[in-house]
């Protein structure tokens, strides 16, 4: 135990001092506890809702989704202006630990905090008894992001690693626009023909992040290799999972029963 405590203390000595005193950045435990509580809620949710009627949440969903559009837009624009349209290199981009890089660090923290807000996606699925939408891919993706991004902000808030968060902010801008329009009601379904292409955009995102990460394994760059492997592993895992989802949802031939069920779902 003494050895583990020493390792933890040695690790914390390498943290970015600029985040000292920032909300939830002193220790990883609050982030870990919230993520664990999220997984427990997902597991217990169907039992909790078993004898309850689904909640009617149309107004809440409209407000929530369009607020998330605004938040995602803010993060995307800030990632661009703080670095990716202001001198950042697509090859080697070290973290700027000076006060000059503070703008990028702030948007990294905002992106990290937005991952906790996004956990409400699943909470709303459970409250509306849409359990099928809380798939393994959805829960795994939402559940690991907040905790993993704590380390990103704590140690490497800026530079190379913000490429994937910049792309992800844009994807979420599009995604929450779709969910917001869907929440408006059936009369807007005719404008939502592009759901399939939204999944294609997510797959493209992970392909770009994979390529972007692999190149750093073959060049010298003042960016921690551990985080390069972390980002690469994340991109490859989700590339495989989203590609499998796309194949099952859009490429597999549907039986007559499946088509009928799809029509019924739309008509409801």
In a domain, 3, yes or no: no
Q: Which long-range contacts (CB under 8 A, 24 or more apart) does 94-102 make?
A: 94/159, 94/160, 94/221, 94/222, 94/223, 95/16, 95/156, 95/157, 95/158, 95/159, 95/160, 95/161, 95/223, 96/158, 96/159, 97/16, 97/18, 97/158, 99/18, 101/157, 101/158, 102/18
In a domain, 233, yes or no: yes
Are 228 and 216 a contacting pair, CB within 8 Å?
A: yes
Range(s) of the domain holding residue 172: 28-267
In a domain, 215, yes or no: yes
Domain count within the chain? 1
**Roughly what angle, to the nearest 10 degrees, separates helices 162-183 and 225-246?**
30
In a domain, 21, yes or no: no
In a domain, 15, yes or no: no
Q: Does residue 141 have an active-site annotation?
A: yes
Each residue's pLDDT, cut to its tens digit, for the chain (268 residues) gives 888 777 877 778 889 999 999 999 999 999 999 999 999 999 999 999 999 999 999 999 999 999 999 999 999 999 999 999 999 999 999 999 999 999 999 999 999 999 999 999 999 999 999 999 999 999 999 999 999 999 999 999 999 999 999 999 999 999 999 999 999 988 888 888 888 888 899 999 999 999 999 999 999 999 999 999 999 999 999 999 999 988 888 877 655 544 433 333 333 3
Could you tell me how many helices (H) and strands (E) the chain has, helices first?
A: 10, 0
pTM: 0.89
**If you ran DSSP here, which 8-state letter would residue 101 be given?**
G
In a domain, 85, yes or no: yes
In a domain, 100, yes or no: yes
Tell me what pLDDT residue 266 has.
38
**Of 138, 141, 164, 172, catalytic:** 141
In a domain, 39, yes or no: yes
């Amino acid at each position: 135990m003494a050895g583990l405590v020493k390792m933890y203390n040695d690790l914390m000595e390498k943290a970015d001092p600029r985040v000292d005193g920032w909300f939830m950045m002193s220790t990883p435990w609050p982030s870990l506890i919230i993520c664990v509580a999220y997984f427990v809620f997902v597991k217990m949710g169907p039992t909790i809702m078993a004898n309850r009627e689904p909640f009617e949440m149309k107004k809440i969903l409209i407000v929530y989704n369009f607020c998330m559009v605004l938040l995602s837009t803010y993060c995307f624009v800030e990632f661009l202006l703080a670095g990716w349209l202001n001198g950042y290199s697509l090859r080697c981009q070290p973290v700027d630990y000076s006060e000059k890089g503070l703008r990028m660090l702030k948007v990294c923290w905002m992106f990290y905090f937005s991952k906790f807000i996004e956990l409400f996606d699943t909470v709303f699925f459970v409250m509306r008894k849409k359990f099928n939408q809380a798939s393994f891919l959805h829960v795994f993706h939402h559940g690991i992001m907040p905790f993993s991004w704590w380390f990103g902000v704590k140690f490497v808030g800026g530079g190379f690693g913000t490429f994937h968060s910049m792309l992800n902010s844009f994807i979420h801008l599009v995604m929450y626009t779709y969910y917001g329009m869907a929440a408006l009601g059936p009369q807007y379904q005719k404008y939502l023909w592009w759901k399939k292409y939204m999944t294609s955009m997510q797959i493209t995102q992970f392909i770009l992040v994979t390529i972007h990460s692999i190149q750093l394994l073959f060049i010298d760059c003042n960016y921690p290799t551990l985080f390069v492997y972390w980002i690469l592993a994340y991109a490859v895992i989700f590339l495989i999972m989203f590609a499998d989802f796309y194949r099952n949802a859009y490429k597999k031939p549907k039986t007559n029963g499946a088509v009928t069920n799809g029509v019924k779902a739309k008509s409801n």
